[in-house]
Amino acid sequence: MTQRYLVGVDGSDVGRHALRWAIEEAALRHALVHAVHAWSIPPQVSSIASSRALVDPGDYELWAKDTLESDVALISQAAGAPEALITSELVQGRPSEVLLSRADYADLLVVGNRGRGGFRGLLLGSVSQHCAAHAATPVAVVRQGSPLPDRSDIVVGIDGSRGSQAALDFAVRAAVARNARLVIAQAWWVAHPGSTTDMLPFVSVERGAYIAESRNLMREMLDVATRSEQRPDDVELVPIEDAPAPGLLALAERAGLLVIGSRGRSGLSGMLLGSVSQQCLHHARCAVIVVPPAHAR
């Protein structure tokens, strides 16, 4: 079946880059792209303005319609994408609610890391964070200037959890589609003897055992991910002697894509988005795809 990518646009530069990223990624998977612009009237700061109905909803709807049409035309032309593969929709409502309501029917939800409504300097906007935490489908968070889909490395973090297996499954398919090297990473570290706060790896003979166990886990999970999928031609296994987030961010510094589970083994029960995934979403320079556990094989 043809895959369908849902992308949120809002007239911002980040939104346009997210649309371009979605179109380029969809071309590799022979997928369709559906661009959605959710519009609403901004909250009134004055009771006088509100009571006198000084705002015409039609003005906002017309602006949103023009913005959506021009963005889709501009970006699809720049990407050289056939118009038949891109559809668009204008919806009145809160962006996160609109996107989540439609994400159940998509294979991937793509959003910019922050849009028009975000505070200046904010690394991750409320819409992208809400979608990454609540979507039942994988979510790609794209920041302005992040690399477009190419053959650059795809980094995926695993920890043996169901969520990280789902992330690895997705990363395998992405690496095959891009013909890119897949870098599988697992962070391991233990409390330094005599300390309850310093988290440092042992430098004794036990270090080798930790590395061997880490490589075995990565091989086992890769075997599961490729039982019914083509195995990427180039795979690298990287045990990280550091905390997970800093280690993954360092590997992703020169990568084209970072894939992570929504939460791993160390996440608190009931937490929708773990600390590692949050740190990666805030600080990775490349696009980050968050995969929910339900997508594990």
Per-residue pLDDT 10s for the chain (297 aa) are 689 999 999 999 999 999 999 999 999 999 999 999 998 876 654 444 554 456 677 888 999 999 999 999 999 999 998 877 899 999 999 999 999 999 999 999 999 997 665 444 445 578 999 999 999 999 999 999 999 999 999 999 999 999 999 999 999 999 999 999 999 999 876 545 555 445 555 455 577 888 899 999 999 999 999 999 999 999 999 999 888 899 999 999 999 999 999 865 554 444 446 788 999 999 999 999 999 987 766
Q: Are 260 and 248 in contact (CB under 8 A)?
A: yes
What are the residues facing 109 on neighbouring strands? 6, 139
Residues 6+ apart with CB under 8 A from 46: none
**Domain 4-142: which topology?**
Rossmann fold (3.40.50)
For the domain bounded by 154-295, which CATH number is listed?
3.40.50.620
What are the residues facing 142 on neighbouring strands? 112
Q: Where in the chain is the domain with CATH 3.40.50.620?
A: 4-142, 154-295
3-state secondary structure at position 41: coil
**Between vectors from CA 164 to CA 163 and to CA 166, what angle results, nearest 5°?**
65
Tell me the one-letter amino acid at 288. V
From its phi and psi, is residue 265 left (phi > 0), alpha (psi between -120 and 50) or beta?
alpha
